[in-house]
Amino acid sequence: MSNELLLKYGCNPNQKPSKIFMGDGSDLPIEVLNGKPGYINFLDAFNSWQLVKELKEATGLPAAASFKHVSPAGAAVAIPMSETLKKIYFVDDLELSPIATAYARARGADRMSSYGDWVALSDPCDKETATLLAREVSDGIIAPDYTPEALEILKTKRKGSYNVVKIDASYVPAPIEHKDVFGITFEQGRNEVKITEEMLQNVVTDNKVFPEDAKRDLLISLITLKYTQSNSVCYAKDGQAIGIGAGQQSRIHCTRLAGNKADIWYLRQHPKVLSLPFKEGIRRPDRDNTIDVYISDEYMDVLQDGAWEAFFTEKPEPFTEQEKKEWLAGFTGVSVGSDAFFPFGDNIERARKSGVQYIAEPGGSIRDDHVISTCNKYGMVMAFTAQRLFHH
């Protein structure tokens, strides 16, 4: 190892020179086993590693994340999947280890956004995870170790250029961090707050019962938000994020964006979507895009112009608005976290439409009473964590 690593360029090709290095002269806590990761790759790698490391510490379960542009597209822990989830994640033909299950869930949350992702694993990458990754479009991976079989598989990806980074799991960063913007150095203490179930004790709604799975999902949501560009809101269910709204200037836009993604996740499980008559040989990214169009209002236009013939053996029946509404009416048990307080009850109203029953947010708005009363109207459970989780 060495204390610096030269990079091809920075965020853009014109931004040279570029490198990562340890300011104190110590060795970097990473080793590049294959490929040549770039500036954005390492931003994704180091943020995603922190996320999965904390997820495992909080839940005791293997964890994985799928990152794009310094925010997670998905994050999950290793909970066995239903046959339906395996099918919509395109892994129903694979043997899955716990860490492979966590990654399949993380990537499955928002497969369109995960296209070309950076992968983070809390546990060593095994053959099963590498086999799954080998057939997905991805830029690279960070993990504490790799089995020989996994490394051999990953080294064949992207014509041998797939980025594989090994991180020292015992590495502890300095308590003070720095960042240069416009030639000016910013300094702050690292955000070392531990997200645990203690954060969920201040329940402010009339309904005060958090089931154990809701507590787990709220921890997943909050830890995910800790490494998501703010403003951000995260919907979670069944041990994984199912909708992440990142980097919006308005809290309601975060809530809508994340809620729309959660709705698509659930609509993908509808029998009409599961039985779409795809032609043999259609690539997974094309299937993802086509399914998204089928679920959206755009599909009526596709039916009319005949574009469906490129993907399907026969013309599928439209997925009507009434059918979607009826299916989404069964969407329940969802948890949602917010990195800062909800300023208005409209966020609760929108979250409810996507099956949200459990909420964790910092509190502290002058309209907290309105937000609480909106939750009470629907029998929701909400805890004030008193901890803002902005990340920039």
Q: What is the pLDDT of residues 41-89, one digit of tens each?
A: 999 999 999 999 999 999 999 999 999 999 999 999 999 999 999 999 9
* Distance, CA of 58 to CA of 193 (rounded, Å): 12
| Statement: residue 304 has pLDDT above 70 | no
| Statement: residue 297 has pLDDT above 90 | no
Q: How many residues does the chain have?
A: 392
Q: Where do runs of H (alpha helix) occur along the chain?
A: 39-59, 83-88, 98-108, 127-134, 148-154, 212-226, 251-267, 271-274, 284-295, 299-305, 321-328, 346-352, 368-377
Lowest mean pLDDT: which of 116-125, 298-307, 316-325, 375-384?
298-307
Answer yes or no: same fold for 4-172 and 271-318.
no
Beta bridge partners of 234: 244, 337
| Statement: residue 385 has pLDDT above 80 | yes
Q: Over pLDDT 70: what percentage of the chain?
A: 98
Average pLDDT over residues 302-331: 87
Percentage helix, strand, coil for the chain under 3-state DSSP, each rounded to 5: 35, 20, 40
Grade residue 380 by pLDDT with cuts at 50, 70 and 90.
very high
The structural domains of the chain, with segments of one domain joined by +, span: 4-172, 177-267+328-384, 271-318
pLDDT of residue 215: 97
Calculate ∠ Cα 142-144-150, nearest 5°: 75
* Distance, CA of 56 to CA of 311 (rounded, Å): 40
The secondary element (H helix, E strand) that includes residue 21 is: strand 19-21
CATH number at 271-318 = 1.10.287
Which fold does the domain 177-267+328-384 belong to in CATH?
Cytidine Deaminase; domain 2 (3.40.140)
Shortest CA distance to 75 belongs to which of 270, 203, 211, 238? 238
pLDDT of residue 349: 96
Query: For residue 231, is the peptide bond before it cis, meaning its omega torsion is within 30 degrees of 0?
Result: yes
Grade residue 303 by pLDDT with cuts at 50, 70 and 90.
low
Integer-rounded Cα Rg, in Å, for the chain is: 21
To the nearest whole number, what is the mean pLDDT of the chain? Answer: 95
pLDDT of residue 39: 96
Average pLDDT over residues 256-261: 96
Grade residue 256 by pLDDT with cuts at 50, 70 and 90.
very high
Which one-letter amino acid corresponds to residue 272?
A: K
Cα dihedral 99, 105, 111, 116, rounded to 10, equals -20
Grade residue 299 by pLDDT with cuts at 50, 70 and 90.
confident
Torsion region of 69: left, alpha or beta (phi above 0 gives left; psi -120 to 50 gives alpha): left
Can you identify the CATH homologous superfamily of domain 4-172?
AICAR transformylase, duplication domain (3.40.140.20)
Which residues are known catalytic residues?
A: 68-69, 231, 392
CB distance 157 to 133 below 8 Å: yes
Strand pairing class (334-338; 356-361): parallel
